[in-house]
């Protein structure tokens, strides 16, 4: 062997001592940037790796400058997953770099040897690569040649990223040179474009692709081929090569290898967070991206809730259901509060008995009935509440409406109502009585074959109508009030009621052909002008809003941000809930043509509602998902069919307890306020479901659909406020103040009579905000649904009342919902399992 330091295997033979410090052990590799030797540091007693420039590199000032830059940059990076760079030396006119020696195997060799790694090991290695690369980027260093061959695994299996020989400062990376390994270059790098940390992220994605599947994403034979592949082709989805691949792994790989740098994660830390076990939502938000619905659904806890917590929630749920029903028995805002109120069958018989008595003897071939709210009477009753003349004679705020016709009733819309179809056919009669059976209105079109036909309405007929209204002729006095009946009549009059409790009320009468055409018992101020802003303005607003939603939804679809699956399923929910309500509360006409027309109209309206839901969800949900994705986790899981998800069960329990607790608390506060002469504005009860248990169940199902829509709107407003205000406590104040603003600007409301009336809406907004922030939108939907359920349907603790079926429907619905939620929260474990 020659005594020269040079050797055929490498420039320097084993055993040679360089710079009086490094004894060479062996040549371990050659590359485009020179030779690499293993050596022993005689001063520190540690193994080192010495990297030399090629012999002709010293003549290239630019290459030498890059080599020196490598040292300056690499020395800044100190991380367990990055091979340390120590110093610069020189031997026989050759410059070398001393760095940490990693005794192990590079990832490229390992993959060639075993194909692909097990999923758990691949995930562990992936996270270490990401952390090492993030540390380099954090110091302003780009690798620019990240590939399996530059990733070492030491004897303990720990990752070391090596060979920052092509790294440059981020600010100097746009020199147009093509450097690196073509199979792992980003599109902008392989075409000589501007590169930054996202270029390394692309290379990282290709490394992870190979790590999990055992195959390269792209296979080419030349630089030109790789340029075409990297810039134009989309690799095979990893899940096609490996069926059991975790969807989160595939999602983050595909994001890393997006052709557009703006679509990739902006940091390696975001890639770490996007891998299983990380926080994909935090990663997406940190990168300024809208997280995919599937990513949102995959986030958050998947474990069962603690048994003790579920027991506590269920105990609170049951206790509050009992409390709400018990407190409802003395609710002064209930429409149903008179002890003389009658069930619907009694009211129906009363009306059908009255009509022949007043001359309408032709049997109907078609009829319909329903309950409705008498808003004017309800307001007048509340205005007189607390006065000494507030007697049982005062009508309730609930009406029972009845319509009949000699032929089929043919509504223009989806259901028969007071003015649809129009009362123009002979023999059409409509009547309204309050819940006690007191007649409040009669409108008719004479002309039935068996109807009375005389010149004037007999006094006995008017007396019968007055008696049905709880009045007598002696309690009326004429008034000079201009009024024209809606149809031609031979006689008409207006009289003021003088009986106690009904001062200021009026009776309007009109007759023709010996029959009463109009009979109306009207509360004071019933002719008040309509609110500002007609229905036509509102409909134009709806049309414009739908058009704007369609444009925004289309934009989200084209941008890949829209949750198309969620929008479709939510639209189906909206269609079904409205259809159930329509079928449950609509009397179908007898004629086949009228039945068909009404069916088409009803289905058309339900489809119109579904289109609204679909469009607005596509338009608005991506905004919420980007701004507040954590609020959509359990919601996204439910929309994707995971109805028994533990997190969803927990959120349902939380939302229901919040609603029941709020309602019970407001009941108590209201009673305390009324004891001091004030009262809370609780709103009025809905009247769906009073006729039968089936109607009540239909109303409950419809309330679920309405709750979802209302919750989405409120959450959007809340997110917009948080985006605009950006201060937590100020946002809460503005949010809670929204009902106050609505009271002041809505001409139909006119402002609250007393400040205490704002307690309920303000408290409602605050609780909604807390539920949204703590549990998310699924809890908000349940919160609103339970509120609508217990406040929408009349409740009573007395099982003997005629509307007891509504209480039964509400209680059963709440018990079933709570039981399902508890079972889901516990992942199927028994609620009453023994304590551990």
Catalytic positions: 145
Instruction: Say how far apart CA 335 and CA 328 lie, in whole Å.
Output: 11
**What stretch of H or E contains 567?**
helix 564-585
Alpha helix (H) ranges present in 427-563?
459-468, 535-558
Q: Is 5 helix (H, G, I), strand (E, B) or coil?
A: coil
How far, rounded to the nearest angstrom, does the alpha carbon of residue 239 sit from its chain's CA centroid?
29
Q: Spell out the residues 6+ positions from residue 737 whose beta carbon is closer than 8 angstroms to its own.
A: 762
| Distance in angstroms (rounded) separating the CA atoms of residues 222 and 205 | 21
Instruction: Give SS3 for 295.
Output: helix
Beta bridge partners of 91: 94
| Cβ count near 632 (within 10 Å) | 26
Residue 271, helix vs strand vs coil? helix
Listed in sequence order, the DSSP H helices in 143-196 are: 187-190
CA-closest candidate to residue 251, choices 216, 215, 280: 280
| Three-class DSSP category at 172 | helix
- CB distance 311 to 831 below 8 Å: yes
Give the C-alpha separation, 514 to 503, whole Å: 30
Per-residue tokens: 683 = 């709103």
Q: Are 575 and 509 in contact (CB under 8 A)?
A: no
- How far apart, in Å, are the Cα atoms of 625 and each of 264, 292, 818? 18, 8, 27
**3-state secondary structure (DSSP) of residue 444:** strand
Question: Distance between CA atoms of 260 and 771, rounded to whole angstroms?
Answer: 39
Cα–Cα separations (whole angstroms), residue 758 to 335, 673, 791, 810? 21, 13, 17, 27
| C-beta of residue 372 within 8 angstroms of C-beta of residue 401 | yes
Dihedrals φ, ψ of 831, to 5°?
-65, -35
Nearest alpha carbon to residue 778 among 577, 633, 614 = 633
- What are the beta bridge partners of residue 34? 31
Give the dihedral sign, CA 122/127/133/136: negative
Question: How far is Cα 279 from Cα 298, in angstroms, rounded to an integer?
Answer: 10
Q: Report residue 150 CA to chain centroid gap.
A: 45
Instruction: Please give the radius of gyration of the chain, using alpha carbons only, rounded to the nearest integer.
Output: 39
Partnered with residue 50 across adjacent β-strands are 37, 98
DSSP state of 442: E
Q: Which pair of tokens denotes residue 54?
A: 């090629």
3-state secondary structure of 432: strand
Q: In angstroms, rounded to a whole number, what is the distance separating the alpha carbons of residues 167 and 163?
A: 9
Q: Give, in degrees to the nearest 5, the angle at Cα 243 between 240 and 245.
A: 100
Are 606 and 578 spatial neighbours (Cβ–Cβ below 8 Å)?
yes
Distance of CA 717 to the CA centre of its chain: 12
CA–CA dist 681, 5 (Å, integer) = 97
Q: List CB contacts of 796: < 8 A, sequence separation 6 or more.
A: 325, 328, 329, 336, 803, 804, 807
Query: What are the phi and psi torsion angles at 87 (to 5°)?
Result: -155, 175
Instruction: Report H helices in 187-305.
Output: 187-190, 197-213, 223-232, 238-241, 247-256, 268-274, 280-286, 293-298
């Amino acid at each position: 062997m020659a005594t020269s330091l040079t050797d055929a295997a490498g420039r320097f033979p084993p055993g040679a001592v360089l710079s009086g410090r490094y004894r060479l052990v062996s040549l371990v590799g050659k590359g485009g940037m020179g030779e690499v030797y293993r050596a022993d540091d005689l001063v520190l007693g540690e193994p080192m790796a010495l990297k030399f420039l090629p012999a002709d590199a010293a003549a290239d000032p630019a290459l030498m400058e890059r080599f020196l830059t490598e040292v300056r940059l690499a020395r800044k990076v100190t991380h367990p997953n990055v091979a340390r760079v120590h110093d610069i030396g020189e031997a026989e006119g050759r410059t070398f770099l001393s760095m940490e020696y990693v005794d192990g195997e590079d990832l490229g060799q390992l993959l060639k040897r075993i194909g692909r790694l097990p999923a758990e090991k691949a995930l562990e290695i992936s996270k270490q690569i990401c952390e090492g690369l993030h540390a380099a980027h954090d110091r302003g260093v780009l690798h620019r040649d990240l590939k399996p061959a530059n990733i070492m695994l030491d004897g303990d299996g720990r990752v070391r990223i090596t060979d920052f020989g092509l790294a440059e400062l981020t600010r100097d990376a746009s020199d147009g040179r093509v450097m690196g390994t073509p199979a792992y270059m980003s599109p902008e790098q392989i075409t000589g474009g501007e590169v930054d940390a996202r270029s390394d992220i692309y290379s990282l994605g290709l490394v992870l692709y190979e790590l999990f599947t055992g195959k390269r994403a792209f296979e080419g034979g030349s630089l030109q081929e790789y340029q075409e592949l990297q810039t134009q082709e989309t690799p095979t989805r990893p899940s096609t090569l490996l069926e059991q691949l975790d969807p989160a792994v595939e999602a983050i790989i595909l994001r890393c290898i997006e052709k557009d740098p703006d679509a990739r994660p902006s940091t390696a830390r975001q890639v770490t967070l996007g891998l299983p076990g990380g926080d994909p939502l935090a990663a997406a938000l940190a990168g300024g991206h809208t997280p995919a619905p599937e990513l949102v659904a995959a986030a958050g806890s998947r474990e069962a809730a603690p048994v003790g917590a579920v027991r506590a929630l269920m105990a609170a749920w049951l206790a509050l259901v009992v409390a709400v029903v018990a407190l409802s028995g003395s609710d002064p805002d209930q429409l149903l509060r008179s002890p003389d109120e009658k069930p619907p069958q009694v009211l129906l018989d009363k009306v059908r008995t009255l009509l022949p008595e007043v001359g309408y003897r032709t049997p109907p071939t078609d009829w319909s009935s329903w309950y409705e709210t008498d808003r004017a009477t309800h307001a007048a009753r509340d205005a007189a509440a607390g006065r000494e003349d507030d007697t049982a004679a005062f009508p309730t705020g609930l009406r029972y409406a009845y319509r009949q016709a000699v032929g089929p009733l043919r509504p223009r819309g989806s259901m028969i109502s007071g003015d649809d179809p129009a009362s123009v056919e002979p023999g059409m009669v409509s009547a309204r009585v309050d819940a006690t059976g007191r007649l409040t209105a009669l409108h008719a079109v004479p002309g039935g074959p068996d109807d009375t036909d005389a010149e004037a309405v007999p006094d006995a007929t008017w007396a019968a109508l007055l008696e049905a209204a709880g009045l007598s002729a002696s309690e009326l006095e004429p008034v000079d009030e201009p009024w024209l009946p809606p149809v031609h009549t031979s006689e008409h009059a207006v009289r003021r009621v003088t009986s106690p409790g009904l001062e200021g009320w009026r009776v309007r009468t009109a007759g023709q052909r010996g029959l009463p055409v109009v009979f109306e018992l009207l509360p004071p101020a019933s002719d008040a002008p309509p609110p500002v802003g007609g229905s036509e303005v509102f409909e134009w607003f709806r049309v414009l809003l739908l058009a704007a939603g369609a444009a925004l939804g289309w934009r989200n679809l084209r941008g890949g941000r829209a949750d198309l699956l969620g929008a479709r399923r939510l639209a189906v929910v909206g269609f079904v809930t409205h259809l159930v309500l329509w079928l449950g509360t609509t009397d179908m006409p007898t004629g086949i043509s009228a039945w068909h027309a009404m069916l088409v109209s009803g289905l058309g309206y339900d489809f119109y509602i579904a289109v609204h839901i679909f469009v607005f969800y596509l338009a608005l949900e991506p905004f919420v998902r980007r701004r507040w994705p954590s609020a959509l986790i359990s919601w996204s899981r439910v929309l994707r069919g995971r109805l028994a998800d533990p997190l969803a069960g927990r959120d349902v329990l939380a939302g229901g307890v919040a609603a029941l607790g709020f309602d019970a608390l407001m009941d108590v506060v209201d009673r305390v306020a009324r004891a001091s002469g004030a009262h809370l504005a609780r709103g009025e009860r809905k009247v769906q479901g009073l006729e039968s248990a089936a109607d009540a169940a239909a109303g409950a199902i419809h309330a679920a659909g309405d709750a979802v829509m209302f919750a989405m709107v409120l959450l959007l407003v809340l997110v917009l406020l948080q985006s605009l205000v950006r201060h937590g406590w100020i946002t809460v104040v503005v949010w809670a103040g929204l009902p106050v603003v609505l009271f002041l600007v809505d001409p139909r409301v006119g402002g609250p009579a007393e400040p205490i009336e704002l307690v309920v809406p303000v408290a409602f907004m605050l609780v909604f905000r807390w539920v949204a922030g703590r549990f998310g939108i699924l809890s908000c939907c349940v919160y609103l649904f339970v509120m609508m359920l217990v406040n929408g349907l009349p409740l009573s603790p007395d099982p003997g009342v005629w509307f007891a079926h509504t209480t039964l429907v509400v209680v059963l619905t709440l018990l079933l919902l709570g039981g399902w939620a508890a079972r889901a929260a516990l992942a199927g474990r028994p609620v009453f399992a023994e304590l551990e």
